[in-house]
């Protein structure tokens, strides 16, 4: 069992938990994730390792369905059944020169560890983060501390620049030489970043978020097409060359279980209400 050391709401519908998981904390690198199971009967879901402190890891998640809602109801002292990891290949951190770390929505959760590692490798790091509006923005202060410069955008202009992270990235690409880019966020945002950077020929990594079950390359549920070949995001990724990813296929596959996911959430809420809210 893995004890929750701290739990908090950090933005609209977004929560963080610090979980005591010494093995994960000892070995975690930027870009990796864990697969968790809340309880014995729970489904497995992947979450990015967002930060590490001593023997604990931070997970930041948006409530989108049954398991994330169940997680959001946990408080300090509660325990999670499984935290497996660190999983996936770490980010390909090298000394590239100038790098941009672009995070959108809850995807910003994975940005600080990449930015920090890129900075430690001797890169000049430009952070670009965004959200739908001010209330959904996360980790602004933390990103300020691990980037040489930070740009913020909100779709509605309620904080920072009015627009998308891609608008800011485009401005930066036109203004200066950027040698490598990471983009983490909603699939549609990562697709937009890939389309934007392709003509500039800038190496671009995206952190893909297909449905995962075991996280160890056994079940095949996380398969994605990259450069015309089938790859398993849990073991071959989650980061891939953005210019070779079939984003449309990924988006279609992410919608496969929408009906079942809706039913599971309704059922969970009914049961939770009967049991007094948790």
Q: Are 116 and 90 in contact (CB under 8 A)?
A: no
Spatial distance between the Cα atoms of 206 and 201, rounded to a whole number of angstroms:
15
| Interacting residues with ligand FAD between 78 and 117 (CB under 6 A) | 106, 109
Q: Are 178 and 128 in contact (CB under 8 A)?
A: no
Size of the site for ligand FES (CB under 6 A): 12
Candidate segments 160-168, 175-183, 192-200, 204-212, binder of ligand FAD by CB under 6 A: 204-212
With CB under 5 to 8 Å by kind, the binding choice for 45 among ligand FES, ligand FAD, none is: ligand FAD
Residue 20 sits at the vertex; the CA angle it makes with 40 and 275, to the nearest 5 degrees, is 40
- Distance of alpha carbon 252 from the chain centroid: 19
Q: Does residue 36 bind ligand FES (CB under 6 A)? A: no
Nearer to ligand FES, 118 or 222 (CB): 222
Q: Given candidates 53, 217, 252, 254, which one binds ligand FES under the rule CB under 6 A?
A: 217
Exposure string for 250-273, b = 16+ CB within 10 A, e = fewer = beebeeeeeeebeebbeebeeeee
Binding mask 221-260 for ligand FAD (x = CB under 6 A): -----------------x---------------x---x--
Residue 273 corresponds to which tokens in the numbers above? 């209400």
Q: Does residue 60 bind ligand FAD (CB under 6 A)? A: yes
Using Cβ positions, the residue closest to ligand FAD within the complex turns out to be: 65
With CB under 5 to 8 Å by kind, the binding choice for 215 among ligand FES, ligand FAD, none is: ligand FES
User: What is the CB neighbour count within 10 angstroms for residue 171?
Assistant: 14
Spatial distance between the Cα atoms of 115 and 125, rounded to a whole number of angstroms:
7
Binding mask 221-240 for ligand FES (x = CB under 6 A): xx---------x-x------
Q: Given candidates 74, 161, 219, 251, which one binds ligand FES under the rule CB under 6 A?
A: 219
Rounded to 5 degrees, what are φ and ψ at 194?
-60, -45
Could you tell me where the DSSP H helices lie in 31-110?
66-72
């Amino acid at each position: 069992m893995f004890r929750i050391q701290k739990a908090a709401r950090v933005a609209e519908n977004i929560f963080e938990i610090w979980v005591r998981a010494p093995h994960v904390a000892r070995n975690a690198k930027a870009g990796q994730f864990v697969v968790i199971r809340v309880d014995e009967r729970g489904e497995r879901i992947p979450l990015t390792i967002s930060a590490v402190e001593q023997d604990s890891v931070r997970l930041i998640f948006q409530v989108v369905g049954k398991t994330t809602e169940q997680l959001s109801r946990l408080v300090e002292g509660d325990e999670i059944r499984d935290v497996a990891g660190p999983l996936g290949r770490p980010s390909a951190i090298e000394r590239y020169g100038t790098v941009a770390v672009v995070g959108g929505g809850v995807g910003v959760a994975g940005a600080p560890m990449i930015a920090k590692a890129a900075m430690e490798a001797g890169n000049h790091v430009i952070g670009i983060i965004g959200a739908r509006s001010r209330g959904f923005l996360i980790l602004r202060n933390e990103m300020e501390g691990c980037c040489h410069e930070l740009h913020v955008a909100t779709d509605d202009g309620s904080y920072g620049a009015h627009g998308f992270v891609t608008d800011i990235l485009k401005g930066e690409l036109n203004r200066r030489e950027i040698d490598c880019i990471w983009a983490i966020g909603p699939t549609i945002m990562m697709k937009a970043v890939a389309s934007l950077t392709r003509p500039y020929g800038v190496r671009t990594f995206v952190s893909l978020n297909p449905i995962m079950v075991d996280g160890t390359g056994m079940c095949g549920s996380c398969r994605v097409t990259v450069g015309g070949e089938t790859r398993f995001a849990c073991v071959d990724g989650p980061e891939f060359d953005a210019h070779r990813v079939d984003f449309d296929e990924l988006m279609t596959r992410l919608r496969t279980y929408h009906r079942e996911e809706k039913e599971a959430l309704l059922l969970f809420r009914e049961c939770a209400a009967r049991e007094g809210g948790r």
